[in-house]
Amino acid sequence: MSTNTRAVAAGQTRAEVRRHRRRLPEGKRAERRLGWLLCAPAVIVMIAVTAYPIVYAVYLSLQRYDLRFPSQATFIGLGNYAAVLSSPYWWQALKVTVIITVFSVAIELVLGMLLALLMHRTLFGRGTVRTSILIPYGIVTVAAAFSWQYAWTPNEGYLSAAFNNSAPLTKTVTAIAIIILAEVWKTTPFMGLLLLAGLSLVPEDLQKAAKVDGATAWQRFVRITLPLMKPAILVALLFRTLDAFRIFDNIFVLTQGGNNTYSVSILGYDNLFTALNLGIGSAISILIFICVAIIAFLFIKGFGAAVPGSAMGR
Amino acid sequence: MATTVKQRVGWGSANIVAVVAALIPVLWIASLSFKDPATITDPSFLPHTWTWANYRGIFSSSLFTRPLLNSIGIGIIATFIAVVLASLAAYAVARLDFPGKQVLIGMCLLIAMFPIISLVTPLFSIERALHLFNTWPGLIIPYIAFGLPLGIYILSAFFREIPWELEKAAKVDGATPFQAFTKVIAPLAAPGMVTTAILVFLFCWNEFLFAISLTSTTAARTAPAALAFFTGSSQFAVPTGSISAAAVVITIPIIIFVLFFQRRIVAGLTSGAVKG
């Protein structure tokens, strides 16, 4: 630390602080300061975009605040929450969101595991498979959603034509099935790649030893591969469950939330941009945030999913 | 290991099923984009008559070209800033010992799981007050914030693998600290930064909810958002062809990335989740 002659006025207190700090070696202190300095820009941006707005959302959610009459904003306590939680729209949206989340994640887990096994074990064409499945992962969700929408449009789409010119997007159950299909197609590759990474950590020797001992392929998978892959599976499930719960793009394009196919995110969006109600919209935002926090908590505490990055600091 | 014909056929057909399932929806939208407006209501998978009309249509109107430009500009600026800031933080996480490191990692995890819809309402209100609504910075700043956790994860995993003793060795051999950094460390860190840049750019390119909520005109609206509100290149045209052509155009960069950086993308996607 350079000596500073300007600090005469504050000299007394500063000297005390220095004496106190001197317990740490000079190098350690410089390292700390550098560490904080390097992280500061990233931390500031992240706080500005997430922490501050979420606190502001809590404040907004306690107000009656209609964008058309901004001067009439008044504090109404938990009124907005009561309004949302007693509304059938919220519960319908939550039901749809949970159904889509559970089905798409379950299907993705099975298909993703098959895909991972294929990429791990196939005899040839591994690179081609990997390249092809990265396209669904990378493609803009909205573009893919339009492809599915047109495919299921009567008199226009090949899939609709293949199913007796049906119009599945106009009925609740079939529309939700197609939303799940679009979601599964788009995100199974991600699941597959995460599981593949877990699969490659399973030692080959164990498999061979079990084979010598006469274990069948299925027994080896259930008794050796699955238990060793548990951490990778839990992380993949955690990521995908939270991601599926936030579903927005696919529904926005496929049905616009019509026929009772709206998710909680669609409901929140509509409340802001069609009802122009900041208070109710913020209450929905906070409720979704709480749902996501509960899901994450259940995975991490309940199932013991290792928090990704928890080993990073070591 | 000797392989039987049966095994080869089995794995071969499994490969084909995976590849076809992955590509069919992409081929379908590409096919639609080449159908001429008169036959677009023909459900055959391939067009009977091929036409470039849909592409000419979207590129002759600023309804698509302007959002495309916005997407490219916003994506590149946000990616650049996010990679720089994430590199600084990741270097600190990988190399330095300081209190608060765990807090930073926890914060990254929180943001990676954050429901974007929860931020839309407050950010809409804040950005309108700060006159950031419907501007490039209005989208760039949230994109940086959501790119950072990804960047810090991937880069700190990469940085930990770098043999930092090489830096010291170079200095012993007479290199200046600057030379040691540019000639030894930077080339080793570059692959990680490229991987991060690709994944952050893909996130910005793909993002939809912020893009429709924090913009109102083509001044800042990105291509996916514009696509969803497309009504055709002219008032009377059926939008299917135009939307399909625009969807194909915004898919091209992704296909290029995937073809050239397949290994990097896979390594980046899995490093945060497994190594972490």
- List, for residues A13-60, the tens digit of each pLDDT value: 555 555 555 566 777 888 888 889 999 999 999 999 988 898 988 998
CA-CA distance, B151 to B203, in Å (whole number)? 11
Q: What is the mean pLDDT of chain A?
A: 84
Q: What is the pLDDT of chain B when averaged over all its residues?
A: 86
Within 10 angstroms of residue B8's Cβ, the number of other Cβ atoms is 12
Chain B contact for A245 (CB, 8 A cutoff): yes
Helix (H, G, I), strand (E, B) or coil at A63: strand
CB contact under 8 A, A139 and B254: yes
> Measured in whole angstroms, how far is the alpha carbon of residue A268 from the centre of its chain?
17
Given CA atoms B175, B179, B184, B189 in this order, what sign does their dihedral have? Answer: positive
Beta-carbon neighbour count of residue B70 at 10 Å? 22
Task: Please identify which residue in the block is written with the tokens 């926005």.
Answer: A252
User: Which three-class secondary structure state does DSSP give residue A192?
Assistant: helix
Residue to mutate among B20, B72, B121, with most A CBs inside 10 A, is B121
Q: What is the CATH number of domain B62-275?
A: 1.10.3720.10
Confidence of residue B276 (pLDDT cuts 50, 70, 90): very low
pLDDT digits (tens, 9 = 90+) for B53-107: 889 888 988 888 999 999 999 999 999 999 999 999 998 988 888 888 888 888 8
Give the closest-approach CA distance of B151 to chain A in angstroms: 10
Please tell me the distance from the alpha carbon of residue A85 to that of residue A283, in angstroms, as a whole number: 10
Secondary structure class of A66 (helix, strand, coil): strand
* pLDDT of res. B172: 86
Q: Which residue of A has its CA nearest to B257?
A: A138
Residue A100 burial (10 A CB sphere; 0-12, 13-18, 19+): buried
In tens, the pLDDT along B205-215 reads 999 999 999 99
Dihedral angle of Cα B96, B100, B103, B108, to the nearest 10 degrees: -40
Instruction: Check residue B192 and give its pLDDT.
Output: 87
Note the pLDDT of residue B85: 94
Q: Looking at the complex, does the CB of residue A198 fall below 8 Å from at least one CB of chain B?
A: yes
Q: Is B14–A122 a contact, with Cβ atoms under 8 angstroms apart?
A: yes
Residue A150, SS3 per DSSP? helix
Question: Is B110's pLDDT higher than 70?
Answer: yes
The per-residue pLDDT for range B150-189, each reduced to its tens digit, is: 899 888 888 888 888 888 888 888 888 788 778 888 888 8
Cα diameter, chain B: 74
CB pairs under 8 A between A and B: 317
Q: Is the pLDDT of residue B248 over 90?
A: yes
Report the SS3 class of residue B50: strand
Tell me what pLDDT residue A45 has.
93
Amino acid at B64: F
Q: Structural domain boundaries of chain B?
A: 62-275
Mean pLDDT of B122-131: 90
A99 pLDDT higher than 70:
yes
Structure tokens at A93: 């949206």
Closest C-alpha to B268, from B101, B150, B109: B150
What pLDDT does residue B175 have?
84
* Tokens 């639609």, residue located: B32
Contacts of A117 (CB under 8 A, 6+ apart): A199
Q: What is the mean pLDDT of residues A219-223?
A: 88
The angle formed by the CA atoms of residues B128, B134 and B138, to the nearest 5 degrees, is 75
Is pLDDT of B233 > 70? no
Q: Domain A90-275 is of which CATH architecture?
A: Orthogonal Bundle (1.10)
User: Across-strand partners of B50?
Assistant: B35
Angle, alpha carbons B190-B193-B197 (nearest 5°): 140
Partner residue facing A132 (CB), from B12, B18, B88:
B18
DSSP 8-class letter at B232: -
Tally the residues of chain B.
276
pLDDT given for residue A314 in this prediction = 34
Break chain A into its structural domains and give their ranges: 90-275
Query: What distance in Å separates residue A255's CA from the closest CA in chain B?
Result: 12
What pLDDT does A177 receive?
A: 94
The pTM (predicted TM-score) of the whole model is 0.87
Residue holding tokens 């019509």?
Answer: A258
- The amino acid at residue A111 is L
Q: What DSSP string runs through A248-286?
A: -HHHHHHTTTTTTT--HHHHHHHHHHTS-BHHHHHHHHH
